[in-house]
Amino acid sequence: MAESAPPPGPSSTPLPVITPTRIVCAILLAAPFVALLWVNSYAALTPAFIGIPFFYWYQLMWVVLSAVLTGISYLLIRREEAARKAQSAELTGDAR
């Protein structure tokens, strides 16, 4: 997300646009795309789980995995945005 950084102050270095948190989030959010759009990686009948062929239970498993990954991204981004906002407020002296 190309969000603009807060205006640079003379005494403090603002958080850059690309931070480790954002890179981690990008990987977490990209993982389901790679896993599911690469259809050949899971186009198989076996191993089956309680009688459900691999093709189906693997994709159903990704529903849960993807939810967990998106949830972690949500928490990480929320934490960093709080830090960003605190810094922005400090720099501009504005509470909002």
Partner 1 sequence: MIQAAGTHTDAVSLTVFVVFFLAVTVIGFFAARWRRADDALHLDEWGLGGRGFGTVVSWFLLGGDLYTAYTFIAVPALVYGVGAAGFYAVPYTIIAWPLVFLFLPRLWSVARSKGYVTLADFARGRYGSRYLALAVALTGILATMPYIALQLVGIQAVLDTMGVGGSSGFAKDLPLLIAFAVLAAYTYSSGLRAPALIAFVKDTLVYIVVIVAVIYIPIRLGGYGHIFHDAATALAQKNPATGKARGSLVSGPKAQWAYATLALGSAMALFMYPHSATGVLASKDRNTVRRNLAIMPAYSLMLGLLSLLGFMALSAGIGKGVKGYNAQLAVPQLFQQMFPSWFAGVAFAAIGIGALVPAAIMSIAAANLFTRNVYREFVRPAATPAQETRVAKIVSLVVKLGALGFVLGIDKQFSINLQLLGGIWILQTFPAIVGGLFGWGKHSSRWFHRWALLAGWAAGMAYGTYMAYGVTAAGKPHSHFGGSAANIPVIGQIGYIGVTAFVLNLAVAVVLTLVLRLAKTPDTPDETTPADYLLEDTPLAAPRTPEVAALP
Residues that bind partner 1 (CB under 8 A): 1-4, 28-30, 32-33, 36-40, 43-45, 48, 50-53, 55-56, 59-60, 62-64, 66-67, 69-71, 73-74, 77-78
Compute the least distance from the CB of residue 78 to partner 1, in Å: 7
Q: Return the beta strands (E) in 1-96 as ranges.
A: none
Q: How far apart are the C-alpha atoms of 19 and 28, rounded to whole Å? A: 14
Minimum distance between the CB of residue 64 and partner 1, rounded to whole angstroms? Answer: 7
Cα atoms found within 13 Å of the Cα of residue 58, Cβ hemisphere only: 18
1/93 with CB nearer partner 1? 1
Q: Please tell me whether residue 49 adopts helix, strand or coil conformation.
A: strand
